[in-house]
Amino acid sequence: MAVHTERGTSIVPANRVAWTPAGFTHYHRAHGDTDMRVVFLAPSLARLIPDHPAVFLASGLAREVLLALTGPRNYGSAPDYSRSARSRLLRVLVEELREAPEQPLHLPEPRDDRLQAIARMLYETPADNATLAELGKTIGASTRTLSRLLRNELGMTFYEWRTQLRVHHALVLLADGHDTTQTAYACGWANPSSFIAAFTNIIGTTPGRYRTSRQTTAHASQLPRAVKSSG
């Protein structure tokens, strides 16, 4: 699942939790067979979680709490918990999210027109291996200027930004059923080995294991969850 806000795009693989604070206009798009659960938090709980959109790895307990709060897949309605019981479950969920590390799955959206132009080119053709200097010539900006903008706006180098963008694209392709080799070349890696290394560094597992675990979690109805603030 991809969640888009004015801050950028977060990719939410299986068994992750997407957090969207109040005040962030957003929309999402599912890729592949996705079972999404949505839980709203009151301001008193929401303030305990980061004040920016984020993605967390769902612990086993957090996953079970989310399932308890939303009911079995295709059940049609949430379980009828008492107000106090639901409040306790939400508190457990928040405590689990506070302990969970943020996942490096957020691709920030540039504000500068020149970076936005480059972003459009990279989104459209992620396999393009043009250098920053070559892209800069296309839009009329120097490498030095673009590097400074990337550092100041996104806190990344061009290599880090493009790698993150490609891994995001790879997650979508893998969700759509493409294998590791197809995905590697479609996203611009020279060979599957370099793709596997970059993917593993960001996602924490290999593309092959990710595809296998995704198929397992899909069968078990343990796919991305979305938690939102109601404040």
Domains assigned to the chain: 2-105+221-229 (no CATH), 110-215 (1.10.10.60)
pTM score > 0.85 for this model? no
Chain position carrying tokens 């206009």: 25
Chain position carrying tokens 């506070």: 98
Chain position carrying tokens 């888009």: 4
Are 227 and 48 a contacting pair, CB within 8 Å?
A: no
Q: 227, 230, 3, 2: which is closest to 95 by C-alpha?
A: 227
How does strand 8-11 pair with strand 106-108?
Answer: antiparallel
pLDDT of 142: 95
Quote the DSSP letter at residue 144.
H
State the Cα–Cα distance between residues 91 and 100, nearest whole angstrom.
14
Mind listing the pLDDT tens digit for each residue in 122-179?
Answer: 999 999 999 999 999 999 999 999 999 999 998 889 999 999 899 989 988 888 889 9
> What parts of the chain have a pLDDT lower than 70?
32, 72-78, 213-231
Are 224 and 16 a contacting pair, CB within 8 Å?
A: yes
Q: What are residue 199's phi and psi, to 5 degrees?
A: -60, -45
